Amino acid sequence: MHNEAQKLKVLNSQLNTLVNIYIDNSDDDKLLLEYINFAKDITEFENGFISFVNDQNYKVIQSSTLNNKLAKGAEFRLCDTLCQEVIEKEDIVYHSKLKGLPQYDLAGRIFLDTQSVIGLPLFIDNKIWGTFTLCSTSEKSTSHFENNKSILQLIALKVSRVINDIELKQQIQSRESVLQMGERFSKTATYKRFLGTNEVICTDSFYTIFDIDIEKTSPKETFAIAISKVMDEDRETVIEKSILSTQENVPPFEYRITSSNHSIKWLRHQLNLTKDEGYVLGVIQDITELKNNEISIKRKNEELEQLAYASAHDLQEPLRTITGFIDLINRDYADKIDKSGKTYLSFITNASYRMKEQIDGLLDHSRIGRNITKEKVDTFLLVKNIIKDLDKVISDTNAQIEIPELPIVDGYKVELRLLFLNLITNAIKFTTKDRSPEISISFEEQRSFWKFHVKDNGIGMKKEYIPNIFKLFGRLNHRSEYSGTGIGLTQAKKVVDLHQGEIFVNSQEGVGTTFSFTIKK
């Protein structure tokens, strides 16, 4: 009875020591070292170390050995160590006398002159991670091991938990590093703004974007300082969106801020409400460079359009002179020109008319978007009027056009008329001689767009030709088969771009084509 009481007293003392080791050490490396030293003290073994095992490699993570003979970071082949048996059995292994055993010839045993060994497996997520090993240069009794087996297993469990915490911290740091790198490259910041207090917890990029001193700013001040950076013209909108975000999610919106050097930044901001947890999650991106590029591209496009307009406009006068003199030659010298001369004049006349069509097309193309005022456009009425204007060609081709009730959209009326006109006339024009054009116009409502479809039963096109159809003066068919300037679809795409939409083509040669396009609501 006395022996049992003594054992219980010793175990209780060891458990208290184990608890205090954890309490007294916040540094993970030091904590592992303390666990090794504690195990050495209770077993009276001279050497102890924790090792990670990966396939056939064995790496020391922490160690406490005589004369620091086995340092942290040392690597061996697993087969040269006394731990291979632990890994294979996935259980505690003890040898009180290695002499005469096969392990006695191992390089790892000889390295530390080990005569007795205790090896404990370390598990993470129910998989063996490595080993906790104690070695002695003298032989030990089996009872010596049995008396300390329970506390050693508890120490191994504590070590496993510490290593698991270390790995989790490393994973988090790695993820945070990747996120921070991503934020730096994308110039993005995230933050939580707590409801009621407006206290902000944010990534470092937030302070960089708003040019706020992180050292001098408390979480309670951050939001107010950020709002103060917003330009006067945009501040009311930002405040309204911030208030709205306490009730619902707010889709991306853009605004400008002024930095300390008085430069202007463009920001894109999105707000997601997490009401149950009491905060709004914000994502901010610095889009200044993107905006500047957009402005630059827009300016260059305007310059190109002005050049195209001026060139096309200036070409009209010499072209009128050419066609005028051709008419005079045909009128005054028709009886003096032989058959070949009349053929040449015919070629010149046709070429002049084609040039006039292309110049007119360029002028129309350059005018798209000059009307900067949007209005409510009844697309059903718009298409009905186009069909009235195309009455003769529809009658001549016996075309059938199916139109449902179409929506009223916010857009540019003249440009939308040009868009539908080009698609409908193409659908009538590009058909085979043995069948009448059948055209159906339809639409669908999407969250942020109206999507329209113009479907025909025409000649269709090969898939490899589709990328070229929107190019200026792009033609897939010879003029002798189908007339036109090759500018209509270029105009159609420009109109769709003007309405912040996209245009798509689905076509099968010999079956027909469907043009689909979106118009932003």
Mapped onto helix, strand or coil, the DSSP state of residue 139 is coil
Cβ count near 235 (within 10 Å)? 16
pLDDT band for 141, please (50, 70, 90 cuts).
confident
Task: Tell me where in the chain the CATH 3.30.450.40 domain(s) lie.
Answer: 2-170
Beta bridge partners of 59: 52, 75
DSSP 222: H
pLDDT of residue 483: 47
Residue 517 predicted with pLDDT over 90: yes
Residue 326 predicted with pLDDT over 90: no
Give pLDDT tens digits for 176-235. Answer: 555 555 556 657 888 999 988 889 888 888 888 898 888 888 888 888 999 999 999 999
Task: Tell me where in the chain the CATH 3.30.565.10 domain(s) lie.
Answer: 302-520
pLDDT of residue 112: 92
Nearest Cα residue to 350 out of 379, 326, 377: 326
**Mean confidence (pLDDT) of the chain:** 84
Nearest Cα residue to 487 out of 236, 298, 308: 308
pLDDT of residue 329: 83
Residue 102 predicted with pLDDT over 80: yes
Residue 477 predicted with pLDDT over 80: no
When pLDDT is averaged across residues 388-417 and rounded to a whole number, the result is 90
- CATH code for the structural domain at 302-520: 3.30.565.10
Instruction: State the Cα–Cα distance between residues 44 and 456, nearest whole angstrom.
Output: 91
Q: Does domain 187-286 have CATH number 3.30.450.20?
A: yes
Task: Tell me where in the chain the CATH 3.30.450.20 domain(s) lie.
Answer: 187-286
**CB distance 411 to 382 below 8 Å:** no
pLDDT of residue 475: 47
When pLDDT is averaged across residues 384-406 and rounded to a whole number, the result is 91
Residue indicated by tokens 């530390």: 112
Q: Which CATH superfamily is domain 2-170 in?
A: GAF domain (3.30.450.40)
Residue indicated by tokens 């270029």: 490
Nearest Cα residue to 51 out of 159, 168, 170: 159
